[in-house]
Amino acid sequence: MGADIPGIVRLKCSVKKYAWGTVGREESSVARLYAKNNGQEIDVDEPYAEFWMGTHESGPSYVVEANGGFSNGRKLKCCDSVGLKEWIQQNPSVLGDKVLQRWGPDLPFLLKVLSVAKALSIQAHPDKSLAAILHKRKPDVYKDANHKPEMALAITHFEALCGFVDLQELKSVVQNVPEIVEVVGTAAADQVSNMTKDVGEKKMKDILQSLFTKLMSVSKGVISEVLLKLISRLNRKCEAGELTSKEELVLRLEKQYPGDVGVIAAFLLNYVRLNPAEALYIDANEPHAYIHGECVECMATSDNVVRAGLTPKNRDVQTLCSMLTYKQGFPEIHYGIPSSNPYTVKYVPPFDEFEVDRCILPRETQTVFPALPGPSVFVVVSGEGAFLTFSKEVFVVIEGDVLFAPANTEIAVQTASASGLNLFRAGINSRFFE
């Protein structure tokens, strides 16, 4: 790189202390990473939910050290701080020409680490056209006009609800969960029971939409009564040792959100359990709810969430029920693609904005991240080592460090002699450049 071209920069990043997060302690990745990234002590009484790395105004990152970076023609020092979005606008070349032409002078993806102790809301993210409408209508609720396809990559064992169950399981639900029939009515339940695969995709989606909408729209009083019956029945089954895994989950959800319609709605959604290093891709307009565990999450730069259950936050049931695709079937689990080196696995979702690399380096080893035509964000989740560039920049890194690497930057990563290094890299989807 030339002397006036920005190089790698170190970032100070934001945290979200949502109520569903893990209360601060060393076992919480979000608490630990944020505290070390910001040089703070962990508050043992606060929930640490999400560690944000990107440019979204709801949780922006800041450039705090730049060996080769400049702001308004002035070289940054460790004590300086400028928003990453502002820094990119002042140095648009860091994005690469093709990224700049497609998305303008901003980072098109947002990287997060999540520590989930309590279920998140049943939710979906709008596509671009709906996001623009919602943002214009309620900018205080829907923060931007962008879509939010996302990927969850498990760090620990990770639980989620995602997408609607297939026809066979849906029929089993209306046959074996009488409380749902009590809410939606026998006519709606009979429609499901009488469905066959040759009824046609549109008809099947219409029936599922009608069932789901009736369930989610019922009054709190009715749901409270029905849930009392459901929980009483499931507790009897529990005593007999006859609970299914979904029924066990429903009992857990009811303890977290008593009287919430999302508890019974869980029967209609797939219960997904990821092992570490397994990933789930979630497109726009697909229902989901993270339940428990830790993950790295990457998405298009957006904070739009339409909620309808398992939450004390604002609900928009009508919008959620009308926007969903009503696709059925268990979601595909992704295991990543081996990289050119033995330490890195790449996850390439069907979204242009992002991909993620998972890299685990044993002690006293080194690997290279080749120069790419778009920017990258690295987060070190454990260990210590160093980043070295072709222009002789050297960044010593430890757990909690987050670095932004401009387009066309080759980076060698090496571990410290006494430690391995575990990190994740987010960047533009490699298929975008093909």
Residue 5, helix vs strand vs coil: coil
Write the DSSP string, 259-322.
T-HHHHHGGGEEEEEEPTT-EEEE-TT--EEEEEEEEEEEEES----EEEES-SS---HHHHHH
User: Which helix H or strand E contains 228, and what residues bound it?
Assistant: helix 220-239
Exposed / middle / buried, residue 402 (Cβ in 10 Å: 0-12, 13-18, 19+) = buried
Q: Is 307 a catalytic residue?
A: yes
3-state helix, strand and coil shares in percent for the chain, rounded to the nearest 5: 30, 30, 40
Handedness of CA 249, 254, 257, 259 (dihedral sign): positive
**CB of 113 closer than 8 Å to CB of 294:** yes
Catalytic residue among 10, 32, 307, 358: 307
- Which ranges of 50-200 would DSSP assign to H, the alpha helix? 84-90, 97-103, 128-137, 167-176, 178-184, 186-193
Residue 163 backbone phi and psi in degrees, to 5 = 70, 165
Residue 393, helix vs strand vs coil: coil
**What is the C-alpha end-to-end distance of the chain, expressed in Å?**
24
- Per-residue burial over 316-354, b = 16 or more CB atoms within 10 Å of its CB, e = otherwise: bbebbbebbbbebeebeebebeebeeebbbbbbbebbbb
User: Which helix H or strand E contains 396, and what residues bound it?
Assistant: strand 394-398
Other CB atoms within 10 A of residue 106 CB: 17
Active site residues: 307
